[in-house]
Amino acid sequence: MKITMLGAGSGFVLTIAKELLTDPVFDNAEFMLMDVAQDRLAVAENAVKEILATGKNKVSVSITTDLDRALDGADYVVSSCEKNRYAYWAKDFRIAEKHGVFQVKAENGGPGGIIHGARNICLYKEVLESMEKHCPNAWLMNFSNPMSILCTYFKNYFPKIKALGFCHQVHGSFGLIAEELGWEPGELEVVTAGVNHMNWLFDIRHRNSGKSCMEEFITKMQASKYWEEVYPSIPEQKYTKEVYNTFGMYPVGYDEHIVEYLPFFQDTKEWEKWGLHSLAEFYENLTKKNSKTLETQRLLGKNYAKPPFPVDPDHPYYAENPCRVITALETNTPLYFDAINIRNNGAVDNLPDDVILDVPALAIGGQVRSIHVGKLPAGPCELCRRQTVIHEMVAEAIAEGNDSLAIQALCLDPYVPSITQAKNIWADYRKEYAEELTTFR
């Protein structure tokens, strides 16, 4: 078996390495590390070899900066790729602000999410074309954002590639939420569905319990200080509570993520009320501090200020899923996911079957299949539906090099109040990122 990690210098590679240690299915596997940054690749190689040396499985490690070589003969491709992440991210904010559009997060939604998706579509175009040549039967397990936009592009323009979109948002957030409410991580089992980073809670139960504990959860959430105030190093959830009280359904994703998609945040005067602020300056500071150094330190296991939750970041509950998926597919052992980004295929009754949603799924019979959840209420459904339309438009606009369609997508985005702003923002994005937007040449 050959498992290729694209973006091996990102630090995420260590999570994968740890998961290769014990399951016999990975014995004698090749773990290929690929990154364009030679220095970070060398650090990643040493860190991965150190981890693998502690396990029973014999896993060989190879490295390369060449994409085609990395993908040649791969069975599974894990991707966590980004170019000039922090520097570009800061510019995404500032360009929109120049035209009167202010964003909190700008990663998956808003103008920042759209241009982020545009750049990464162009980046992944090369990856998918190489996969078609060198490993057409491989599974692509993507961790890069904006997840929904990228997975929409994958399904529409590379339909033969078996792509899965992984995000720890539902799984990770409910581990942390359980701890905040006095339970163990993994004590709460949830059923959610929606757009990545804005899932909606259909049901919640205590592990090994046949009864819903939704009422208990909501009662505790309403009374918890973590949903009332903003605390250092703890994800904000005040606005999450406000959305629940307004729409009657709990949104999963923390404040800074769900506000990317919600049409209520053009007015920055609202932000202070919920303890939110633009992250533009934060990413500018990261750029000044040299993001390569930060990532290298993370690969070496350097610890920064430890947040109060999770109490134990190495708790098995918080592990990522890709290697468990590989085991399930290799051995045909059914595996349940509480959330994965794939086609809806009937999971949510009142959203189109073909759109990408973050839904529960089961790996069985050589496929990952969505699980029926039910019907979203009108408000949450419309919030998700509009985003799926935008994501389809962005995928087509960038794949086809269509400026008009990109502007239309910006016009539909809740953060952009006018056609003039949409046109001006796109013009400046096109100018700033002309080198990256290769499909427009």
Tell me the three state secondary structure of residue 63. Answer: strand
Residue 120 domain-assigned (yes or no): no
| Per-position b or e across 224-248, b if 16+ CB within 10 A of its CB | bebbeeebeeebbbbbbbbbbeeee
Residue 141 domain-assigned (yes or no): no
Q: Which residues in the chain show pLDDT less than 50?
A: none
Tell me the three state secondary structure of residue 338. Answer: strand
Tokens of 318: 């918080």
Q: 421 lies in which domain range? A: 84-110+169-441
Residue 82: its pLDDT value, please?
92
pTM > 0.85: yes
Residue 427 domain-assigned (yes or no): yes
- Residues 144-191: tens digit of each pLDDT: 999 999 999 999 999 999 999 999 999 999 999 999 999 999 999 999
Residue 189: its pLDDT value, please?
97
CATH for 102:
3.90.1820.10
Q: Nearest-CA neighbor of 398 among 429, 421, 422, 424?
A: 429
Residue 185 domain-assigned (yes or no): yes
Residue 298: its pLDDT value, please?
57
CA dihedral in degrees (150, 156, 159, 164; nearest 10)?
30
- As for how many domains the chain has, the answer is 1
Residue 55 domain-assigned (yes or no): no
Residue 43 domain-assigned (yes or no): no
Residue 316 domain-assigned (yes or no): yes
Residue 346: its pLDDT value, please?
98
Residue 313: its pLDDT value, please?
86
Residue 130: its pLDDT value, please?
98
Residue 161 domain-assigned (yes or no): no
Radius of gyration of the chain (CA): 21
